[in-house]
Amino acid sequence: MKLVVAIIKPFKLDDVREALAEVGVQGITVTEVKGFGRQKGHTELYRGAEYVVDFLPKIKLEVAVADDQLDRVLEAISQSARTGKIGDGKIFVSALDQVIRIRTGELDGDAL
């Protein structure tokens, strides 16, 4: 299993949620976060050595997926979150060791 963490533009959340539902994702965790990438939150690339960092509001999306779902999920997020402009965000993928559905005690694939 994999844990997919995506940082996206807030106004793209609905599109991404729909795209994930279409590829069979059953659950998503969403958090309002702030961050910056390589433009340091500025809308244009600054070349000076000294400038302040602006944290911009972003949405962090967490989705636990089966290995055989991963490619479809990454494609769904990439396509639905993309505007083509800076700040579209990033997707981080990590190994996920264990999942437990608390109500039933089901594990891993059965618990996703």
Please report how close the Cβ of residue 84 comes to ligand ATP at its closest, in angstroms. Answer: 9
Return the residue of 5, 39, 91, 111 that touches ligand ATP, per CB under 6 A: 39
Check residue 5 for interaction with ligand ATP (CB under 6 A). Answer: no
Picking from 59, 67, 60, 72, the residue whose alpha carbon sits closest to that of residue 21 is 72
Return the residue of 19, 20, 58, 69 that touches ligand ATP, per CB under 6 A: 58
Judge whether 55 and 41 are in contact, CB under 8 Å. yes
Instruction: Locate 1 and state its tokens.
Output: 């299993």
Residue with tokens 């069979």: 24
Distance CA 53, CA 30 (A): 24
61 contact, one of ligand ATP, Mg ion, none, CB 5-8 Å limit per kind: none
74 contact, one of Mg ion, ligand ATP, none, CB 5-8 Å limit per kind: none
